[in-house]
Amino acid sequence: MDVCIVGTGYVGLSTAVGFAGHGHRVTCVDIDPRRVNDINSGRCPIFEPGMDGSMKSSVGKNLLKATLDLKAAMASSEAVFISVPTPCDDDGRMDTKFIDKASKDIAGNLSGYKVIIVKSTVVPGTTENIVKKNLEAAGKELGTDFGLCMNPEFLREGHALEDFLRPDRIVIGSTDKKAGDLVQKLYDGFNAPVLRTDIKTAEMIKYASNGFLATKITFANEIGNICKPLGIDVYKVMEGVGLDSRIGPKFLRAGCGFGGSCFPKDVQALLSKGREAGYEPKLLETVLETNAKQRKLMVHHLKSKMDLKGKRIAVLGLAFNPDTDDVRESAAIDTVQGLLEHGANVIVYDPKAMENFRKVFPGIKYASSSREALNGADACVIATDWEEFKRLEAKDFKEMKNSIVIEGRRTLDRNKVKSFEGVCW
Positions marked catalytic: 262
Interface with ligand UGA includes 404 (CB under 6 A)?
A: no
Residue 121 beta carbon to ligand UGA: minimum distance, rounded to whole angstroms? 5
Binding-site size for ligand UGA (CB under 6 A) equals 21
Q: Please give the residues from 275 up to 304 whose contact with ligand UGA meets the rule CB under 6 A.
A: none
Q: Which of 321, 356, 370, 411 binds ligand UGA (CB under 6 A)?
A: 321
Per the CB < 8 A criterion, the answer to whether 317 and 386 are in contact is yes
Residue 215 beta carbon to ligand UGA: minimum distance, rounded to whole angstroms? 12
> Is the Cβ of residue 34 or residue 250 nearer to ligand UGA in the bound state?
250
> Is the Cβ of residue 217 or residue 344 nearer to ligand UGA in the bound state?
217
> Residues 252-271 vs ligand UGA: string with x where CB under 6 A?
xx-x--xxx-xx--x-----
Q: Please give the residues from 96 up to 125 whose contact with ligand UGA meets the rule CB under 6 A.
A: 121
> Is the Cβ of residue 147 or residue 264 nearer to ligand UGA in the bound state?
264
> Residues 39-68 vs ligand UGA: string with x where CB under 6 A?
------------------------------
Interface with ligand UGA includes 251 (CB under 6 A)?
A: yes
Q: Which of 210, 225, 272, 370 binds ligand UGA (CB under 6 A)?
A: 210
Q: Please give the residues from 372 up to 401 whose contact with ligand UGA meets the rule CB under 6 A.
A: none
Q: Please give the residues from 138 up to 177 whose contact with ligand UGA meets the rule CB under 6 A.
A: 153-157
Q: Which of 217, 377, 382, 412 binds ligand UGA (CB under 6 A)?
A: 217
Binding site for ligand UGA (CB under 6 A): 121, 153-157, 210, 213, 217, 251-253, 255, 258-260, 262-263, 266, 320-321
